[in-house]
Amino acid sequence: MNESLNQTLLDGVNALNGPLWDFLVVFLVAVGILYTIATGAVQIRLFLHSIKVMKRSRKPGDDEHGITPFQAFVTGLASRVGVGNVAGVAIAIAIGGPGAVFWMWFTAFLGMSSAFVESSLAQLFKVRDMQNQQFRGGPAYYITQGLKQKWLGVVFAIALISTYGFVFNAVQANAISGATSHAWGWDQANIMLPGGFEISWIGLALVIMTALIIFGGIKRIAKVAESFVPFMALLYLMVALYIAVINIEQLPSMFQLIFSKAFEFEAAAGGFFGAMISMAMMMGIKRGLFSNEAGMGSAPNAAAASDVKHPVNQGLVQMLGVFVDTFVVCSCTAIVILASGLYENAGFEGVTLTQMALESQIGAWGDDFLALILFLFAYSSIIGNYAYAEGNVQFINNNPRVMFVFRVFVLVMVYFGSIASVPLIWSMADLFMGVMASINLIAIVLLMPFVMMLLKDYMKQLKAGVKEPEFKLDQHPKFKNKVNSDIW
C-alpha cells in the first residue's frame, strides 16, 4: 500500500479513536461493575458450575437443527483465541508496559459478567431461520425484540458486519502474513503480473482457504472449530507452561512488575475521561476487549445458535470462554514476553515481539512454532468472525444474492489485511470495535430486567435440586409478549 495513503488513513482513524475510547473505557468498566454487583458476582459463585455445564454440553440437544452448546462455545472461542492472544498482548505490553496485563485481567474479570448477560439474552431472543430451521440471534435480535428498536438493531448489525466480517478478518490475515514472513522469509507480495502489478500469494492462499469454509455455513464452521480449537490452544499452553517452569524463579518478580506498573499514571489522552486513563489502562482494556470480546456483542451470535434447555446455560458456557481466553491464554503470552525482557525494544512490532520472545526462550524453532500456531489461531478466528457476521447479514436481508456479495467482500478484506500495515489495521479494528461495543453495552444495561428474571429462574431450580434447569415462558407471563413463544 502507498505509504502516504497509509499514513493519511492512519491519522484519520486515530483522530476518531481518541474521543471514542476515552468514553468507552469508562463505560465498559462501569457496565462490568454494574452486572457483577447485580448478578451477585456470577463469575465467581457460578464459576465451578459453569465448568460442569460446559462438560455436559457436548451431547446434542433435542433440536437437530441447533448446534450443541459446546460447539457454540468453541465457535466463540475460535474467534476469541486468535491474534489478540499473541500479537494483541505484545502490543499492549510494548506500548502500555507490563501494567497493561493487569488491566487485561481486570477487563476480563468484569467482562465475564457481561459475557454471561449478553449470551443469555441471545438465547432468550433467538429466532428460527425459516429457510434452514437453524437458530440465529445476537444483539441485533435482542435490541429489536427486547427494546423494540429495529433501527438500532440494524445499526448494530452493520457495525458488527463491518467489524467482524471485514476489519477483524483483515487483522487476522495481517498477523498470518507477518508471522510467516518473519519466520520463513516469505515476502508479502511476490507474484509479479504483467504491468508490474504484484499479488501476495500468502493473501491469495488465505482467500482460497477461507472461501472453502465460509461457503459451507454455520454448522460447518462449528464442526471445523470443534475439531482443532482445543488442540491448538493446548499445544500453545504447553509450550508457554514450559517457559514458565524454566523461569519459575522470575515469576514472583514478573507479577510484582505487572501490579506495580499497573498503577503508574501516565495520561493516555486529553479530555475529561482521557486525563484519568493511563496508557497501561488504555492498552490493557483495548487489547483485552479485542481478545476476549466480552461485552462487544460478538459471542452472542454463536451462543444463539445452540439448542439449550435454559438461556442461562449458554451464558455460563460463554462466560467460561472469557476466562480461558484472557486468564489462561493471554497470561501465557505475557509470561513469555516478560521472561524475555524484549518488550522494551521498540524495534519489535506486534506478533514479531512474541516470536522473538519465544525464540529467546526455546531456541530458533520457537519462531517456526509460533508462525504455525498463529496461523491456526488466526485462521480459526477468520471463520469464527465470519459466523458472527453471517447471522447479522441475514438479520438485515436474508437473501442468497446479498449473502454471496457479502462473502466476496469478506474475501477481499482477508486479502487486504495480508498486505496492509500493522498500525493501520489495528487502529481500524479499535474504531469499529468501539462503535459496536458502545451500542451493545447500552442495550444490555436497558435489558437488565430480562437478565435478572432468567438468573432468578435458573437459581430457583438449582436450589430445588433440578440438575438441568429448563426455562418455561408460561411461568413468566410478564415477559410472554416480548419473547418468542414458539421457541420457549
Instruction: Please report whether residue 473 resides in a domain.
Output: no
69: β partners: none
User: What is the value of pTM for the model shown?
Assistant: 0.81
Per-residue pLDDT, averaged over 473-484, amounts to 81
Which of the four pLDDT bands, split at 50, 70 and 90, describes residue 227?
low
Distance CA(116)–CA(34), nearest Å, equals: 13
| 46 occurs within a structural domain | yes
444-453 confidence digits (pLDDT tens): 999 999 999 9
* The pLDDT of residue 455: 95
Least confident residue range of 3-17, 43-57, 422-436:
3-17
Which H or E element spans position 118?
helix 99-124
Of 231-235, 470-474, 477-481, highest mean pLDDT: 470-474
What's the angle, vertex CA 432, arms to CA 427 and CA 434, rounded to 5? 95
Q: Is residue 399 situated within a structural domain?
A: yes
- C-beta neighbour count of 465 within 10 angstroms: 6
The residue-averaged pLDDT of 406-435 equals 83
Residue 357: which domain range?
3-457
What CATH number corresponds to the domain at position 421? 1.20.1740
Separation of alpha carbons 215 and 207, rounded Å = 12
Each residue of 228-256: pLDDT tens digit?
666 776 777 788 888 888 888 888 999 99
Cα 375 from Cα 228, distance rounded (Å): 12
Q: Is residue 385 part of a domain?
A: yes
Q: In whole angstroms, give the CA distance from residue 38 to residue 122.
A: 19
Work out whether strand 127-128 and strand 197-199 pair parallel, antiparallel, or are unpaired. unpaired
**474 is a domain residue:** no
* Burial letters 221-241, b for 16+ CB under 10 A, else e: bbebbbeebbebbeebbebbe
DSSP strands (E only) in 232-273: none
| Residues 14-43: b if buried by 16+ CB within 10 A, e if exposed | eeebeebbbebbbbbbebbebbbebbeebb
In a domain? residue 152: yes
pLDDT the model gives residue 463: 93
Specify if 373 maps to a domain: yes
Q: Are 43 and 113 in contact (CB under 8 A)?
A: yes
Count of domains observed in the chain: 1
380 to 24, 160, 399: CA distances (angstroms): 28, 18, 26
CA-to-CA distance for 478 and 488, rounded, in angstroms? 14
Q: Are strands 191-193 and 197-199 parallel, antiparallel or unpaired?
A: antiparallel
Rounded to 5°, the CA angle 173-433-315 comes to 100
The more confidently predicted of residues 84 and 412 is: 412
Closest CA to 441 of 452, 430, 453, 433: 433
In a domain, 478, yes or no: no
Q: Which residue has the higher pLDDT, 270 or 411?
A: 411
Confidence at residue 397, expressed as pLDDT on a 0 to 100 scale: 85
pLDDT value, residue 273: 47
Asked if residue 10 has pLDDT above 50, the reply is yes
Confidence of residue 117 (pLDDT cuts 50, 70, 90): very high
Q: For the ranges 31-45, 204-218, 466-480, which has the lowest average pLDDT?
A: 204-218
The pLDDT value recorded for residue 57 is 66
